[in-house]
């Protein structure tokens, strides 16, 4: 079963609303909140198994709103300066960026080969699949 994902962003009365909808549910960031509606079964499976053409899968609503305020951009820059000048710990060490990139690459590879990808990904396989797509352009 392929994963489906759609993203929308719009400006409403209360400000920006960001919505990410996928096979397993939806996430909405709105008015300082972050909520996740987790489907009991993936939407494509529900569509196949449901008797109702307009039925919705059962879902559980989870509040994922972060608690408290982060340091925002200026605070993050100050932490970076402090790490260089005073040896303070970074909020997000560089390895976290590499981990994010590996997750993104795993998502791409999964969509290309229609398989679940285990982490760490097979870099040679990813590069071969990426090169195959480069050649098609």
* Confidence (pTM): 0.52
Say what the pLDDT of residue 128 is: 97
The C-alpha torsion from 68 through 8 and 24 to 125, rounded to 10°, is -100
* Residue where the block lists tokens 């079964």: 41
Helices (H), the chain: 43-49, 72-86, 94-113, 123-136
Cβ pair 120, 102 in contact under 8 A: yes
Domains of the chain: which residue ranges?
Answer: 1-68
Say what the pLDDT of residue 35 is: 94
Q: What is the pLDDT along the chain (137 residues), one digit of tens a residue?
A: 455 566 677 777 777 888 888 888 999 988 888 999 999 998 888 989 999 888 889 999 999 998 877 777 888 889 889 999 999 988 878 888 898 899 999 999 999 999 889 999 999 999 999 999 999 87
């Amino acid at each position: 079963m392929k994963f489906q994902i759609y993203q929308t962003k719009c400006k409403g009365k209360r400000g920006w609303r960001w919505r990410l909808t996928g096979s397993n549910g939806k996430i909405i960031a709105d008015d300082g909140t972050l909520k996740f509606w987790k489907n009991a079964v993936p939407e494509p499976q529900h569509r196949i198994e449901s008797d109702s053409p307009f039925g919705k899968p059962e879902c559980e609503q989870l509040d994922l709103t972060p608690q408290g305020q982060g340091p925002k951009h200026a605070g993050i820059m100050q932490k970076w300066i402090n790490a260089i000048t005073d040896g303070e710990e970074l909020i997000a060490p560089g390895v976290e960026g590499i981990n994010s990139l590996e997750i993104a690459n795993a998502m791409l590879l999964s969509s290309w080969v229609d398989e679940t990808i285990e982490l760490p990904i097979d870099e040679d396989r990813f590069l071969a699949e990426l090169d195959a797509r480069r050649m098609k352009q």
